[in-house]
Amino acid sequence: MLASKAALMKTEITVKDGNKYFYTTSFYNAENPLGVIKATLKEYSLYKIDDSENLIGKSYKTDDGNWYDCL
């Protein structure tokens, strides 16, 4: 499947051990080989605040609340 993305939004979080992270959200359009959009998912990309160059991971959420960790 092909994908296209929309604008990003950034949110900071602090976990119990004091580490700080941020995640960005964007919309991810999953398309079939003919270019037809089969699903629009919300993509969450997680980074550490002091190392914003290295992606920790990505997760995808459907409108129904289901989560996926890769496509």
Cα 66 to Cα 46: distance, rounded to the nearest angstrom? 18
Which pTM does this prediction carry?
Answer: 0.73
Cα 24 to Cα 49: distance, rounded to the nearest angstrom? 12
pLDDT tens for the chain, residues 1 to 71:
445 455 466 789 999 999 999 999 999 998 899 999 998 999 999 999 888 889 999 999 998 999 988 64
For 33, 42, 50, 51, 60, the CA distances from 65, given in Å and listed in that order, are 26, 10, 30, 29, 10
Range of the structural domain that residue 18 is part of? 2-68
pLDDT in tens, 60-69: 999 899 998 8
For 17, 32, 50, 57, 64, the CA distances from 28, given in Å and listed in that order, are 31, 13, 26, 15, 15
Structural domains of the chain, count = 1
